[in-house]
Amino acid sequence: MQLPVYLDNNATTPVDPRVLDEMLPYFTQNFGNAASRTHIFGWIAEEAVEHARQQLASLINAHPKEIVFTSGATESINLALKGVYEMYASKGNHIITCATEHKAVLDTCKHLEKSGAEVTYLPVKFDGRIDLAELEKSIRSSTILIAIMYANNEIGVVQPIKEIAAFARQHNVLFFCDAAQAVGKIPVDVIEDDISLLSLSAHKIYGPKGVGALYVRRKNPRVRLTAQMDGGGHENNMRSGTLNVPGIVGFGKACEICMQEMNAESIRLKNLRDKLEKSLVELNNVYVNGSIEFRLPHVTNLSFNKIAANRLMMSFNKNIAVSSGSACTSALVEPSYVLKALGLSDERANASLRFGLGRFTTEEQIDYAIKEISKNVQKLHSELSSL
């Protein structure tokens, strides 16, 4: 078995070899600019981009014209939040979001507050899901957007998306969903879920880094955005800039593979995740953080009683790659704000690890991880008890 074992697939995923094979010709042979419409190099690039747009749209049941390519989910989130805030300023200035959103959402909301936005940050219950009654109470006549993520990046908890969407439609409010962790892992249908805007990222689904997309609903209701990048009017005037053709091609192929393999893969990963989780929870005082019922199939977040997560990771991190939270906040020394929002103490939050299984995770690797982590937990507990 090859070491180290990678169990941090929420942070990023390896590029699937099938995706890489699809991308390679667009670096050397088909290197044209998709906006060059006067010769065959540009036509080939444009055709590849439009094929990828169709592949993305098919995965989330959208129309290809509703897909806007960006540099990643963070840019998509900025375009959605800032674009809606500026475009709908005459209607209102109130945004509702959640305390456990990705930093790209929270930091963008903080930025908008400086520009006059009023933002309600909904708390979550102990299971990590919002209280729908609290959401409904928070809606005002000036509310223009509800921004709630599909599934959390740290604990894998899936929010009640259809119920949130129903409130949004009832009050004539747009609904934006950060779905970077959910798309390709569980079924996401923008029509059935009644989502107005949705962000997604290639590198979370075995595509390349540096490319993402934003779904922008074009009817019932038609969503309009103020562009945040100007210069050339690319992507239907929503996002100017030369398109990353190889990245987009890879993104499209990654979506196609997810459509074909997601159902079977979800079952396989859930079984492996449950095996890992059950074995580790049997150790002394290990707890699952967040909902066990409503969550992604490949994720578990565990608290290890009184053992600091960093200390535990140091005991096996040459051979097993996991994380103590979001990759976007890994440089911070404070406890995870997501776990704190669940009501966990600083001690328990600091004793938590996130495990993200993926397409290339094997049962042999899970068995190895169980053995190594269990051994080190017992060793560290012995050291603590002898102090």
Q: Give the torsion sign (CA, 284, 289, 292, 297).
A: negative
Q: What's the rounded Cα separation, in Å, for the pair 145 and 89?
A: 11
CB atoms within 10 A of CB 131: 13
Token pair listed for 75: 């840019």
DSSP 267-317: HHHHHHHHHHHHHHHTTTTEEE-S-SSSB-TTEEEEEETT--HHHHHHHHT
pLDDT of residue 330: 47
Closest CA to 284 of 384, 357, 369, 364: 384
The residue among 41, 47, 81, 45 whose CA lies nearest residue 64 is 47
Ranges of residues in the chain with a pLDDT under 50 are: 329-330
First to last CA, the chain: 37
**Helix extents (H) in 184-284:** 234-237, 245-281
Helices then strands, counting H and E runs in the chain, come out as 13, 12
The active-site residue out of 98, 177, 255, 328 is: 328
CA separation for the pair 25, 369 (Å, rounded) = 38
Do 125 and 291 meet the contact criterion of CB atoms below 8 Å apart?
no
Strands 212-216 and 197-201: antiparallel
Nearest-angstrom CA–CA distance, 155 and 135: 21
Kindly report whether the global pTM for this prediction surpasses the value 0.85. Answer: yes
Q: Which two tokens stand for residue 99?
A: 């305390």
Element (H, E) at 320: strand 320-321
Q: pLDDT digit string (tens) for 230-261?
A: 898 898 888 999 999 999 999 999 999 999 99
CA distance 162 to 319: 41
The amino acid present at 248, given as its one-letter code, is I
Phi-psi region of 386 (alpha: psi -120 to 50; beta: other; left: phi over 0): alpha
Where b means 16+ CB within 10 Å and e means fewer, 267-283 reads ebbbebbeebbebbeeb
Q: Is 258 a catalytic residue?
A: no
Q: Can you tell me which residue has the tokens 């103490």? A: 345
What residue ranges define each of the domains in the chain, with the CATH number in brackets?
5-12+262-385 (3.90.1150.10), 17-256 (3.40.640.10)
The answer to whether the CB of 242 falls within 8 A of the CB of 70 is no
The rounded distance, in Å, linking the Cα atoms of 284 and 223 is 51
Q: How many CB atoms lie within 10 A of CB 185?
A: 26
* Per-residue confidence (pLDDT) for residue 232, from 0 to 100: 84
Q: Where are the beta strands (DSSP E) in 62-211?
A: 67-70, 94-98, 118-122, 143-147, 174-178, 197-201
- Please write the tens of the pLDDT for every residue from 25-73: 999 999 999 999 999 999 999 999 999 999 999 999 999 999 999 999 9
Contact (Cβ atoms closer than 8 angstroms) between residue 223 and residue 196: yes
For residue 119, the cross-strand partners are 95
- DSSP-assigned letter for residue 177: E
Angle in degrees, 0-180, between the axes of helices 73-87 and 103-114, rounded to the nearest 10? 30
Count of beta carbons in the 10 Å neighbourhood of residue 162? 12
